[in-house]
A = this chain, B = another copy of it.
Amino acid sequence: MSSSSAAPTAKPPMRDALVAAAFRLFLERGYEQTTVDDIVALAGVGRRSFFRYFPSKEDVVFPDHEGCLADMTAFLASGAPECEPVRRVCDAARLVLRMYAENPTFSVQRYRLTKQVPGLRAYELSVVWRYERALAEYLRGRYAGRPDGTLRADVVAAAVVAAHNNALRSWLRSQGRSDAEETVDHALGYVQAAFGARPAGPAGPAPGEAGPAALFGGPVEHPDDVVVLVSRRDAPLWRVVQEIETAFGRA
């Protein structure tokens, strides 16, 4: 009656109604105190239909993660072989955070739930694990030739996910009031510094927080296998590390 043909948006059918009903009840009386029967009763649909749209009760809490994961893997698969690998996976992480930041209230509500329901925490871990595996697989491909390629890929992927989660949780605790992009940029910049790549930025020499140029002149080679580096004391560490790697020929 109320919704038959004059729906403005074309494609939000029963699925969204189930998500809405579920979150109303979860926030009212808690996740574990809400049964699937309660949800389908409020949504006015059959119980069987719930499990047609969501393989489990936990899935209704993360209704868009499957698509988000697909977007991220598509982003990684979409060429750009000239881009430095660590930076590429950091951009992928930024993509994920942007999806969270699109719906701040929803993300904060879900954060409250997952924080206090152990079952949901476990489920979220399995979701995050799939993101991490996608990043690691990409890096394994990029590091295919290197000696410890898979090790480096796994470690970098884990570090990126950890930095992303650190920033995300910080942003969620602020109720979505802080700047999500800025927070995650800072966190990912730390990872990029640790692994010897430039932090994000429009490919310029000084990417935002970098400040003054790190080195006065390039490294000078001595005849007896010695490298001399001269650096300002307040130069950002990642910049120095990068120059060292260049001098050592380990880009």
> How far is it, in angstroms, between the C-alpha of A94 and the C-alpha of B125 when the chains are bound?
23
Q: Is A101 an interface residue (CB 8 A)?
A: no
From 122 to 175 in chain A, residues with beta carbon under 8 angstroms from any chain B beta carbon are: 122-123, 125-126, 129, 148, 150-152, 154-155, 157-159, 161-163, 165-166
> How far is it, in angstroms, between the C-alpha of A244 and the C-alpha of B195 when the chains are bound?
15
Q: Give the residue name and chain of the B residue nearest to A245 (CB).
A: B237
> Which residues from B are CB-within-8-Å of A166?
150-151, 154-155
**Chain A interface mostly helix, strand, loop or mixed?**
helix
Q: Give the residue name and chain of the B residue nearest to A163 (CB).
A: B155
Contact A233 B240 (CB under 8 A): no
Contact B122 A155 (CB under 8 A): no
Query: What are 19 pairs between A and B in contact, CB < 8 Å?
Result: A121-B126, A122-B123, A125-B125, A154-B165, A155-B159, A155-B191, A158-B158, A158-B162, A194-B194, A225-B234, A226-B230, A227-B230, A227-B231, A227-B232, A228-B230, A229-B229, A237-B244, A237-B250, A240-B244
Q: Give the residue name and chain of the B residue nearest to A230 (CB).
A: B228
> How far is it, in angstroms, between the C-alpha of A76 and the C-alpha of B234 when the chains are bound?
33
> How far is it, in angstroms, between the C-alpha of A63 and the C-alpha of B227 when the chains are bound?
53
Q: Which of A150, A155, A244, A247 has the most CB of B within 10 A?
A: A155
Q: Is A180 an interface residue (CB 8 A)?
A: no
Contact B162 A154 (CB under 8 A): yes
> Which residues from B are CB-within-8-Å of A165?
154
Q: Give the residue name and chain of the B residue nearest to A161 (CB).
A: B158
Contact B159 A163 (CB under 8 A): no
Contact B226 A228 (CB under 8 A): no
> Which residues from B are CB-within-8-Å of A225?
232-234
